[in-house]
Structure 1
């Protein structure tokens, strides 16, 4: 396996799959003594250009973010369309879905990871950047998210 593929070792986000984002957000807010963040829907595929396992998907999710110092907790409640989010929730239930790293050169990083038998599962755009979920579970036992911020 190549070394220092991402050029960082700083985890910026932990993504947690949930069935009820309003309820879970309130539990996290109460637990940490912070305000409950506003949950919102991701944009539609015409903006996000979301692809899941190589095909376009209408998948959307409700998201809520807790900024916890240098780390962000992301709560994700998926819709019913095909996505890594829906697959995870259906097969494994609620829990940690991914850890994320901010990278430069997302397309290059995807190619490097795929060359190390870590395939791209889902990718898309969001206002201010793009993301890619990589299946690194064979070696790293997790889904790894790459975030490229403009």
Structure 2
């Protein structure tokens, strides 16, 4: 919403790439990684740089957040989406697996793959894959560090060879 400009007041969604569409500006505008206040300032700057408004007073109102979930696949007791509690931004991998019902009996718990899509400020996506030894964590290995799981991550564990 731009104060004093009712035709610019719109509702919209942030894309999976972290971009939005603005009235009078062609193309997607990246706001990935910005707080609501930072996005307001950035949008105001976009209107100024595109010579649409000299000083746009922008107000963003967040009406709904997307469900924060991770995809759990492979040899887990339960597969499919795992939804984070609303107040949680990230969880340790061990907590996610435990809350999701644990591993299937045949799971290779020493090699849990975590795939994460990372967005940069330009709106580009990059996949990162991590291998986490959850077995060591479950056995109390003090050298094993917590590994945080974030919304959008995918967890995969394969079957162990006998």
Q: Same fold (TM over 0.5)?
A: no
Q: Highest CA radius of gyration, 1 or 2?
A: 2
Between Structure 1 and Structure 2, the one with more helix by share is 1
Does 1 or 2 have the higher relative contact order (CA < 8 Å, sep 6+)? 1
TM-score (normalised: structure 2): 0.24
TM-score (normalised: structure 1): 0.26
Between Structure 1 and Structure 2, the one with more strand by share is 1
